[in-house]
Amino acid sequence: MITALAGGVGAAKFLLGLVRVIPEEELTVIVNTGDDIELYGLHISPDLDIITYTLAGIVDEEKGWGVKGDTFHCLEMLRKYGYEIWFNLGDRDLATHIHRTLLLKRGLKLSQATKEICKSLGVKANIIPMTDDKFETWIETDAGLMHFQEYLVKRGAKDKVLGVKYLGAETAKPADGVIEAILNSELVIICPSNPIVSIGTILSVKGVREALRATKAPKVAISPIVAGMPIKGPADKLMKGLGLEVSAYSVAYLFRDFLNIFILDYMDRNEKEEIENLGIKVILANTIMKTLEDKIGLARLVIEEALPRK
Ligand code: FO1
Ligand 1, atom 8, lies closest to the CA of: 88
CATH 3.40.50.10680 for domain 2-134+171-306: yes
pLDDT surpassing 70 at residue 273: yes
Pocket test for ligand 1, best of 153, 158, 196 (most atoms within 8 A of CB): 153
Q: What is the 3-state secondary structure (H, E, C) of the chain?
A: CEEEEECCHHHHHHHHHHCCCCCHHHEEEEECCCCCEEECCEEECHHHHHHHHHHHCCECCCCCCCECCCCCHHHHHHHHCCCCCCCCCCHHHHHHHHHHHHHHHCCCCHHHHHHHHHHHHCCCCEEEECECCCCEEEEEECCEEEEHHHHHHHCCCCCCEEEEEEECCCCCCECCCHHHHHHHCCEEEECCCCCCCCHHHHHHCCCHHHHHHHCCCCEEEECCEECCEECCCCHHHHHHHCCCCCCHHHHHHHCCCCCCEEEEEHHHHHHHHHHHCCCCEEEEECCCCCCHHHHHHHHHHHHHHHCCCC
Percent of the chain scored above 90 by pLDDT? 97
Ligand 1, atom 3, lies closest to the CA of: 153
Q: In the prediction, which pLDDT does 233 show?
A: 87
Instruction: Report which ligand 1 atom has the smallest distance to the Cα of 65.
Output: 14
Mean of the pLDDT values across residues 216-245?
94
Q: In the prediction, which pLDDT does 21 show?
A: 97
* Confidence band of 308 (pLDDT split at 50, 70, 90): confident
Mean of the pLDDT values across residues 98-108?
98
Instruction: Report which ligand 1 atom has the smallest distance to the Cα of 194.
Output: 26
Q: In the prediction, which pLDDT does 310 show?
A: 63
pLDDT surpassing 70 at residue 132: yes
Distance from the alpha carbon of residue 63 to the mean position of ligand 1, in angstroms: 9
pLDDT surpassing 80 at residue 199: yes
Phi then psi for residue 136, to 5 deg, are -135, 140
Dist CA 167 CA 181 (whole Å): 24
Which residues have any ligand 1 atom within 6 Å of their CB? 7-9, 35, 46-47, 49-50, 65-66, 87-89, 93, 149, 152-153
**Domains in the chain: boundaries:** 2-134+171-306
Mean of the pLDDT values across residues 200-226?
98
Distance from the alpha carbon of residue 149 to the mean position of ligand 1, in angstroms: 8
* Confidence band of 232 (pLDDT split at 50, 70, 90): confident
Distance from the alpha carbon of residue 81 to the mean position of ligand 1, in angstroms: 23
